[in-house]
Amino acid sequence: MSRPMTAEQLQQAWADGRIVPLAAAEEQADLAAALACTGCPETAPVLEPLRRRFGPGVVVGSGGSSGRRRWCLQPLSHLEASALATGRWLAGQGIDPAACLHLNPLALHHVSGLLPLVRSRHWGCIHLPIQPALLRDPVGLAAAVPLPSDRPTLLSLVPTQLQRLLAVAEGLAWLQRLTLIWVGGAPLPQVVAAGARAASLRLAPCYGATETAAMVCALKPDRFLAGIGGCGEPMADVELQLQPPIGAIAVRTARLSPGCLEAGTLRPLPISGQGWWPSGDAGRLDASGLTVLGRLDGAIHSGGETVFPEQVEQRLMAAAAAEGLPLQAILLLPERDPEWGQRLVALVRPSAQALGEAGALLEELSRLCRALPAAERPRRWRLCPELAPGSHGKWRRRHWQRWLASLEAGQSPQSHDDPQRC
């Protein structure tokens, strides 16, 4: 098993013209299978013809939210095009990219951790990696990473990390000194957004994918603080459209991945003749920009209605917070129903202090659900004290679907064990 590649090693590999496969330690075997190699993924024979065709770059994982891992090729030229577009976006707000300190608490084998390095390299600014463990220790983070007062400071976070820092005074004070905080990788809970606005944090909720070389749109912090929701308008090198019948988000940009590797073969993305790539998400486009409604492969059809569980989860979390209920996490999963087609089942994690009174919490949540349309109301509730998102704050819905199936079959469900948990 190879050691994680450092930023210096990666940049040297690019200087040598190489394509570098990047994966977490526990995913090395999956990556090797995608490259059809039995030894070190970095020496896979398939990489040489790709290097001659596309130049230096990376192979990185994508698709963790849907449960199907893909191994995506991104040339360095595409990553640099993304950095250029982001730099122009910053300059439009009066921030000089070259003068910035770009903090990076995310791993290089995720596109959201790779791009801070590429941006800093392209802009000529300072790139400062932060140990991910520090994001779980707000007091230690504030002491270990003092922020300068003489230059703009940028940070990319996932919502889980942001929520953890917001909950501790030292973490909040540290966030308040940042010039701009991109938040992506998973939906930003309404209650977390409200807390960030109350603290005047300069958040920039964003949307993108490995296939698009990270961000394709981002909400400007001034608009976020003014109460605008969503992910903002497209970057200058990106076009977005919604495709029927239920508003599938499609992206057109020159930095789309050439394809994903499967068993040693590069499979092109399913791009239309006009250049549109279907992202797999549903959304809404209006004067404020893009709002992501949820994964199309996670949407359910209940009683003739299309329901996006992520949206219902956000509404329930916000309603529970407004009522002061001790709800830490909720996940809605589909099950077949002979009358409705599908109905939702709710997995619920109370706060540790409220475990002894979990029955009362479930009753209150059921009461709150009466205000929802019938298709969005969970038909059943299950306590799940270990419920938590996995890698980069995303829900492993297939994992929890198996957990629920095991529980209802009278078996002992396997516990959630994700070494990449944020």
Where are the domains positioned within the chain?
7-294, 299-408
Residue 415 has pLDDT above 50, yes or no: no
Confidence of residue 345 (pLDDT cuts 50, 70, 90): very high
**How far apart are alpha carbons 422 and 400 in whole angstroms?**
18
Cα separation, 275 vs 278, in Å, equals 10
pLDDT at position 1 is 40
Q: What is the mean pLDDT of the chain?
A: 90
- Specify whether the CB–CB gap between 346 and 380 falls below 8 A: yes
Mean pLDDT, residues 335-359: 88
* The CATH number fitting domain 7-294, selected from 3.40.50.1260, 3.40.50.1100, 3.40.50.720, 3.40.50.12780: 3.40.50.12780
pTM reported for the whole predicted model: 0.83
In the predicted structure, residue 410 carries a pLDDT above the cut 90: no
Alpha helices in 154-218 (DSSP H): 159-166, 169-175, 190-198
Largest CA distance in the chain: 63
Under 8 Å between Cβ of 416 and 390: yes
Say yes or no to pLDDT of 228 above 70: yes
Taking 60 as the threshold, does the pLDDT of residue 88 lie above it? yes
User: Which CATH number applies to 299-408?
Assistant: 3.30.300.30
